[in-house]
Amino acid sequence: MASHGIEIHDHSRISPPQSTPETLLSLTFFDLYWLRFHPVERIFYHTLPTPLSHPSTFFTQLLPTLKTSLSHTLHHFPALAGNVVWPPDSPNPFVKYTPSDTVSLLVALSHADFDHLLDHSPRHASDSRAFVPHLESSNSHAQVLSLQITLFPNKGFTIGITNHHAVLDGKSVTLFLKAWSSLCKTINESEPESNSPLPLAKELQPFFDRSVIKPASEFGIDVSKDPTGIFKKLFPNENDEARCVKLLPFPPRLEDTVRATFVLTRADLEKLKKRLLLKWDTEPEQESKSKFFSKPPTLSSFVVTTAYTVVCIAKALDGVEPEKHKFGFGLGLAVDFRAKMQPPIPDNYIGNCLWGLLLDAEPLDFVKEEGVVAIAKSLHGNIKEMSDKGIFHDVNVFSKYEAWIKGGVEIFGIAGSNRFGVYGIDFGWGKPSKVEIASLDRALTIGLAENKDEEGGLEVGLVLNKDVMNLFVTLFRGGLLDE
């Protein structure tokens, strides 16, 4: 059976070991904002030597190890095999795992050009779609996790992972993958002596206790209104029932779009930091914000990369279709606050610990001559203000986001992080050759990861209209040349 250029080899349902008890997991106010948001999709590309990537070897040796280790991992992460549900007798939705629940694992074979997929150069955005699994959802329930393993004979394989954002943020899903890869290596190196669930190293053990998250009211946040309303307003024809958990249709943008990865070396970032600080005082600031926007001794790689990338995109969009962007641009990002909460939330907390940050910049700042300086200054200042005043000093972030949408502002988002360490995930046959956030094609989003080949560098993933991408490449690479 062939589908979208792949041959379906097997469709398995992977369950945790029988000793795994039923699990109920509440959703916090952090989680509920993502209840109907599109799932997050990632692809991990793994190159294999020819003997291991031959179908007869892969399907009889490597695949069983991947499946067995997945089952053992789900014992520690049982909620991931469950569903998001909202029964009539419950005031809020929650995650429920019962012993009959499983994770869908699609196993496929592809004859696509693996080397072409590994290339960072622009290629059709739709090329990646065949390697990520669908996440089932309906009015009454939604899967938490879906997986796909695709073999490219004599080349390598991919692991595609699709996860529900209301249950797993980026740090959570990365911890799950690190746990799975750790147990896979354990099984690969020595056959377990018993059928008992394999233990996880302490740093990989998940923390699910919701009591560490204080009620929204303690932060001055009103959750009496539907927290998913901001996204539902984008889809007025979708089910508007209060208890509906069906994911909203954020369709991939595949027509005339291309996907590419751009690498910023440590030297590139240092050059940009020096250039921005040299021009720091040329951009005016709000008098009331001078404390936060004052010139720092250095800038973070995140601030520099984000500012440089969004300005290059904005100028490329404006250059190709200026009439569509007369209302300017905005930047919204979800910031992880585990370490900033009082008391701090454990680093291995599974769930969302994200709060929105909207850039305090004028919509047309992105396309002016020194736009990178203006955006870097605003982004650094906003992060510092949040750190000094507290995470929730701006509780109206979502109403501001809605105002941007109504005002025709083109909004950039950020996915991933250079701190997740995705290139350290090794299932026993080597680290990934490439990691891709496939769901970038569902919105105007920038994907971030650490540089695979150099400590201190970054990788930036993008999906853009092909004409916009061509201009972006010129602006992005040209701006890194020595002045």
Give the per-residue pLDDT at 2.
42
Give the per-residue pLDDT at 138.
95
Q: Which tokens sit at 383? A: 């992060």
Domains of the chain: 2-232 (3.30.559.10), 257-478 (3.30.559.10)
Q: What is the pLDDT of residues 38-80, one digit of tens each?
A: 999 999 999 999 899 999 999 999 999 999 999 999 999 999 9
Q: What is the pLDDT of residues 351-386, one digit of tens each?
A: 999 988 999 889 999 999 999 999 999 999 999 988
Give Cβ neighbours of residue 57 (< 8 Å, ≥ 6 apart): 51
Strand partners, 413: 445
Give the per-residue pLDDT at 3.
47
Strand partners, 253: none
Give the per-residue pLDDT at 285.
63
Q: Which amino acid is at 271?
A: K
| DSSP secondary structure string for all residues of 314-343 | HHHHHHH-GGGGTT-EEEEEEEE-TTTSSS
Is the pLDDT at 405 greater than 90? The verdict is: no
pTM for the structure as a whole = 0.95
Do 261 and 129 touch, CB atoms closer than 8 A? no
Is the pLDDT at 318 greater than 90? The verdict is: yes
Three-class secondary structure of residue 146 per DSSP:
strand
| Marked catalytic residue, from 226, 394, 426, 467 | 426
Q: How confident is the model at residue 5 (pLDDT cuts 50, 70, 90)?
A: confident
**Is there a catalytic annotation at residue 165?**
yes
Of residues 241 and 114, more confidence is placed in 114
Is the pLDDT at 16 greater than 50? The verdict is: yes
Chain-centroid distance, C-alpha 223: 25
Do 185 and 198 touch, CB atoms closer than 8 A? no
Q: Report d(CA 150, CA 44) in Å as an integer.
A: 10
Within 10 angstroms of residue 465's Cβ, the number of other Cβ atoms is 19
| Marked catalytic residue, from 164, 165, 325, 380 | 165
Q: Report d(CA 393, CA 336) in Å as an integer.
A: 15
- Note every long-range contact of 110-117, with CB atoms under 8 Å and residues 24 or more positions apart, other chains counting: 110/5, 110/6, 110/7, 110/150, 110/151, 110/152, 111/5, 111/152, 111/153, 112/5, 112/6, 112/152, 114/45, 114/47, 114/152, 114/155, 114/156, 115/155, 117/45, 117/434
Computed over every residue of the chain, the mean pLDDT equals: 92
CB-neighbour burial class of residue 278 (10 A; exposed 0-12, middle 13-18, buried 19+): exposed
Do 465 and 262 touch, CB atoms closer than 8 A? no
Q: What is the pLDDT of residues 434-452, one digit of tens each?
A: 999 999 999 999 999 999 9
Do 108 and 6 touch, CB atoms closer than 8 A? yes
